[in-house]
Amino acid sequence: MTDIIDHLAGIPPGSALDEARRKRAEARVHAQASHDLLLLPADPGGFELAERWAVAAFVAGLHNQAETAAYYAQGLAERAPALAAKVADAAARGQATGPHGAYPAGPLSKENTPAPGFAADAGLLGPRLAAALDHAHMLVFHPRDASAEHLQRLVDAGWRTAEIVTLSQLVAFLSFQIRAVAGFRAMLAA
């Protein structure tokens, strides 16, 4: 099976970077396993595949890296075609810079920067998916603003504890994978 980071970064087999990645074989295998468990689970439980790919397409769209954004947009279009354009529109509206956010009041307050605002269209996406995209937008651009109230909003929209853990892992994993791909692409271009 294709290693998705190799694929997205365009790492040629046998190249110096391929050899370097294979010297971190456990990281390579388990980054792939993370992708597979989060996006192609045998038993998705209450966090269904269409939602997982919608969140992934949204998060990848926010990062604006062409290869990863196209991969997750395509994956969503294959699994939930009715959502593809709506999620692409949300990602286009959600473009921002980061990391931003506020610190607990004190000496770091001078480093506070305003959070980019975003609200997904709950009428279009449904309240449960809209809440997930709002949460993902916060995690991508201003994670230090996270609070118990953010989790309450997910709970109020129907997200159960275990599903929130998996949703958080999905957004956080993508934050890693997209950066690893970007970093490796820069190595190949250097």
Binding site for another protein (CB under 8 A): 16-17, 19-21, 23-27, 29-31, 33-34, 37-38, 62-65, 96-99, 101, 103-108, 111, 138-141, 143-144, 146-148, 150-152, 155, 160-162, 164-166, 168-169, 171-173, 175-177, 179-180, 182-184, 186-187, 189-190
DSSP 101: B
Of 85 and 108, nearer to another protein (C-beta) is 108
Distance in Å, CB of 149 to another protein, minimum: 8
Residue 113 DSSP SS3? strand
Of 72 and 184, nearer to another protein (C-beta) is 184
Of 22 and 119, nearer to another protein (C-beta) is 22
Buried b (16+ CB within 10 A) or exposed e, 24-33: eeeebeebbe
| C-beta separation of 84 from 57 below 8 A | yes
From the centroid of its chain, how far is CA 135?
Answer: 11
Q: Left (φ > 0), alpha (ψ -120 to 50) or beta: where does 62 sit? A: alpha
Of 80 and 138, nearer to another protein (C-beta) is 138
